[in-house]
Amino acid sequence: MATLNVILHGTIVFKRNRDRAGNVTSIDALIPTFTDHVFNAGSFLAETYLQPGNYSLEGVEPEEARPDVLKLGENMVFPGSIRDGLVPGRDPLHAKIDLKLPRSVRTMRRARLERAMFRGRDRDDLDLQMQMANIQIFTYTIRRFQDLMLDNHPWVPVQGECVNLHIIAEHDRTSGIASDEFTRSFDAMVSLFLNRNGLDLDLKMDGPVPFTLLGDRPPCVSREELEALAPRTARLERLGRLQTENTPALISQLWFDFNPDDPDAPTCGDGWF
């Protein structure tokens, strides 16, 4: 039995679709428009641009509907309702990915949040014990490998016992990023919601919160695959320069300080509805 891990990085809102009995039947990954972020999908280190549009994960075995798919205390759950009539490619939504119900959801890099960090009239609807995550991993059983695809995207999976698909919505650089980028990415998620006259919820932050709670990696997902995009990009750029200059001793030093779990890595969070 082959396994697919869908590794979702960065600023994404996960909408749980429910049946009349209240059970979760599927999940929509909603990626808000945000000018400072890169939108990519594909195999590790080979991700390509995720165009504005609708996507669907095909070729996996959907699980039976169940009451929920996540540990509420390890995630931020938004109050309110998702806007009607959102169109991918038209603000505030960049892309929508239809995901079957996975076998499991693992919430990886997390930060603790408190109500005092928020302002707005909807603050009191937030869970007191909430955390914000940067990475979610959805694990599926592959039904038929030849049918496995992210519909409308050119990803070509490599057949094996485990297949990993990365979906990225975060910044790929640190220089030139404004100090309020973290809170603005949060505002981009809030823009997908309606509550009364709009979801009234803001983060009161001078900078990003530390994502120090790591979670357990599923089999076949390496630590390297969890590195934030900005330090990964900087490392690969330097690797290319050193390779061109033929300096193998310095190339090996690139990995002396390698820590994909670095809590100070510049990352943005996600949320659920």
- Helix residue ranges, H only, 132-197: 181-190
Report helix, strand or coil for 30: strand
> How many other C-beta atoms lie within 10 A of the C-beta of residue 137?
22
Name the percent of the chain in helix, strand, coil, to the closest 5: 20, 35, 50
Among the listed residues 271, 7, 263, the one whose alpha carbon sits nearest the alpha carbon of residue 139: 7
Residue pair 88/152 in contact (Cβ under 8 Å)? The answer is no
- In the block, which residue shows the tokens 């809170």? 183
Q: What is the pLDDT along the chain (273 residues), one digit of tens a residue?
A: 899 999 999 999 999 999 999 999 999 999 999 988 999 999 999 999 999 999 999 999 989 999 999 888 899 999 888 988 899 999 999 999 999 999 999 998 898 888 888 888 888 888 877 899 999 999 999 999 999 999 999 999 988 899 999 999 998 876 556 667 888 899 999 999 975 456 888 887 766 778 888 888 998 999 889 988 888 887 777 777 766 767 665 556 655 555 666 656 667 888 998
How is residue 234 annotated by DSSP?
H
Handedness of CA 16, 20, 22, 23 (dihedral sign): negative
Kindly give the pairing relationship between strand 3-10 and strand 135-142.
antiparallel
Residue 3: what are its φ and ψ, rounded to 5°? Answer: -120, 140
Q: Which CA distances in Å does 116 have to 109, 123, 124, 187, 189?
A: 21, 9, 10, 17, 19
Q: CA 254 to CA 214: how far, in whole Å?
A: 23
Residue pair 36/50 in contact (Cβ under 8 Å)? The answer is no
| Cα 79-226-56 angle, rounded to 5 deg | 60
